[in-house]
Structure 1
Amino acid sequence: MKIATWNVNSLKVRLPHLLDWLATESPDVVCLQELKCEDKAFPLAEIEAAGYRAVSNGQKTYNGVAILAKSAIEDVTRDIPGFADEQKRIIAATVDGVRVICAYFVNGQAVGSEKFAYKMAWLEALTGWLHEELARHPQLVLAGDFNIAPEPRDAHPDWKDEIHVSVPEREAFTRLLQLGLTDAFRQFEQPEKSYSWWDYRMMAFRRNFGLRIDHLLVSTALAPALTACWVDKAPRKLERPSDHAPVLLTLA
């Protein structure tokens, strides 16, 4: 089973890239973030023509998440239950017995800001809900743009901004792992300076000035089945790319 996560940073703009990539990589499940479109504008016909079913949780201009799958998509949940939030950041579903949670984590803007406080409250709510989800679904994958680089090696050495790498954010990431989740990427030997996001400015991608903020966390029950996890930089090299690259894993 091949599962991928990709912040497409506007599905409308990146749809040709996505369709080409689906044809090339043929993942079984894809989690998309930053759709930036309402559900009524979701390109379901094009996705289905590519051989995928899809469910989405979108809003105009901002945020938005979706799950694409070759198999049936069942037991769909939108948003974090019990957490009042107008921003569309969560969609969960079961595919072939695996609970897949697609999440677009809050950016947070700057440590100490109101948006950072929202980020920390959102993370707390997510963690509480995930504890319940893991009890119900032992085979679970949490995939998405976390907007957290969990370790120093996940940020370029010259990264000076505190956001994405602050102690509170990294502690929140650790609390997710403590639920019984494993960072799939770190279960395998990886090249140094492996990142999944690069700013559009200052030739960041060419300089490999980036962050690893897109993650696939797998439950204890699934971890032994991991066979690979990698960042696919190819779509980031295209014209008008997303600023994120897809991250993929395979399960035996």
Structure 2
Amino acid sequence: MKLATWNVNSLKVRLPHLLDWLAREQPDVVCLQELKCEDAAVPRAEIEAAGYHLETLGQKTYNGVAILSRTSLGAVQRNIPGFADPQARVIAATIEGVRVVGAYFPNGQAVGSEKFAYKLEWLTALTQWLRAEIALHPKLVLTGDFNIAPEDRDAHPDWKDEIHVSAPERAAFAALTGLGLTDAYRRFEHPERSFSWWDYRMNAFRRNFGLRIDHILITAPLIETLSACEVDKSTRSLERPSDHAPVIAVFG
């Protein structure tokens, strides 16, 4: 299985990029974030014509998540059960025996803000739900835009903003890995300053001033077949790109 995550930052704007990328990379499963459109506006015909089934949880203007799969998706779950949330942030499905959870984690805005408190509350609810999900599904993938750089090496040394790298956020990330989830990217050697997000401002991509905030976390049974995990930076060089690059993991 070739599985990827990509925050497209507007499915409508990035659809040509997505379709070209799907044709080139031929992933089996893709989790998308920041669709920024309602379900009715999702370009289903184009994506299905590219060879994918899809399930979505859309929202006008903001948020929105989707799972694309070459094979059928079962037991679809939208958002975190028991957590009242008007924001479209989580979608899960079972694909060929693997429980795939795609998520767009809250940004948090600034440490100490109301949005930061929501982020931590949301993370607690996600962790509690995933504990039960992992018990039911030994093969589970949690992937998406986490809006957390878990270690110092996941942020440019000159990153001065507390958000994304604060101690509470990193503790919440550690709570997720404490469930028995492993960061697939860190199973392999990568160059220093390897990131997945670069701001549109200040020539950040050209300067490689970024963060690694897009992750693929996997349970122990999937580690046995994990053969690669990379960031595909090629999409970030396109005209009108997403500010995120896809992360790809290969199993088998």
| TM-score class normalised by the smaller sequence | over 0.9
Partner of 1:110: 110
DSSP-derived class of the 2:131 partner: helix
For residue 162 of structure 1, report the CA deviation from its aligned partner: 0.1
> 1:231 maps to which residue?
231
State the shift of 1:163 in Å: 0.1
The match for 2:41 is 41
Displacement of 1:80 in angstroms is: 0.1
Identity of aligned residues (%): 73
Are 1:15 and 2:7 counterparts?
no
Task: Letter of the 1:31 partner, please give it.
Answer: C
Deviation at 1:212, TM superposition (A): 0.1
How is 1:1-252 mapped onto 2 (pairs within 5 angstroms)? Answer: 1-252=1-252
Count of residue correspondences? 252
Cα distance in 1 between the residues matched to 2:125 and 2:19? 34
CA distance in 2, matches of 1:184, 1:250: 10
- Which string of whole-angstrom CA distances, capped at 9 and with x for unpartnered residues, describes residues 190-247 of structure 1? 1110000000000000000000000000011111111000000011000000000000
Structure 1 residue 7: deviation in Å?
0.1
Separation of aligned partners in 2, 1:181 and 1:78: 21
The letter of the residue matching 1:155 is A
Deviations 1:72-106 (A, max 9, x none): 11110000000000000000001111100000000
* Separation of aligned partners in 2, 1:120 and 1:186: 24
Partners in 1 of 2:213 and 2:143 — Cα distance?
11
Aligned residue type for 1:163: I
| Letter of the 2:21 counterpart | W
1:109, distance to aligned residue in structure 2 (A): 0.2
C-alpha deviation, 1:128, in angstroms = 0.1
User: Distance in 2 between the 1:140 and 1:223 partners?
Assistant: 11
CA distance in structure 1 between the aligned counterparts of 2:6 and 2:224, rounded to whole angstroms: 24
Q: Where does structure 1 differ by over 4 angstroms across 4 or more consecutive aligned residues?
A: none
Question: Structure 2 stretches of 5 or more lacking a match?
Answer: none
**1: CA distance, partners of 2:126 / 2:225:** 25
Output the amino acid matched with 1:65: V
* 2:124 alignment partner, SS class: helix
Give the Cα–Cα distance (whole angstroms) in 2 for the partners of residues 22 and 235 of structure 1.
12
* Alpha-carbon separation, structure 1, partners of 2:175 and 2:74: 28
Cα RMSD of the aligned pairs, angstroms, is 0.4
Taking structure 2 as the reference length, what is the TM-score of the superposition?
Answer: 1.00
3-state SS in 2 of match to 1:222: helix
Alpha-carbon distance in structure 2 between the residues aligned to 1:223 and 1:175: 19
Q: Residue 23 of structure 1: SS of its match in structure 2?
A: helix
> Counterparts of 2:145 and 2:135 in 1: how far apart (Å)?
24
TM-score (norm 1): 1.00
Counterpart residue identity of residue 166, structure 2: S
- 1:120-169 alpha-carbon deviations (Å, 9 max, x no partner): 00000000000000001000000100000000000000000000000000
